[in-house]
Amino acid sequence: MTTLDRAADFKPYRIARVAAPDRAPEWRDWLHELGFIPGETVRLMARAPGGDPLVIRVGSSTFALRMAEAACIQVAPLEDTPTA
């Protein structure tokens, strides 16, 4: 188990939990609404110059998330099974 900001590039992960920081509790709902929901598959697609923000694929959508935002998303590596 790790957080999305520490995920390896291009590898599929499954979202376990979304936990917002105390100073921005609304992030949890916002991330949920964008599709970052437990059970969904995510993948780190690219990093901006300097390493932040990140490009994340969730479902069929692509989002730019800052490191701090990606850190809210707890993920588990998905073994080399095809995405469900």
Positions touching another protein (CB under 8 A) are 21, 23-24, 26-27, 29-35, 37-38, 41, 45-50, 52-53, 55, 57, 59-66, 68-69, 83-84
Q: E strands within 1-84?
A: 2-3, 12-18, 41-47, 54-58, 61-65, 73-77
Please say whether the beta carbons of 7 and 69 come within 8 A: no
Shortest distance (Å) from residue 14 CB to another protein: 13
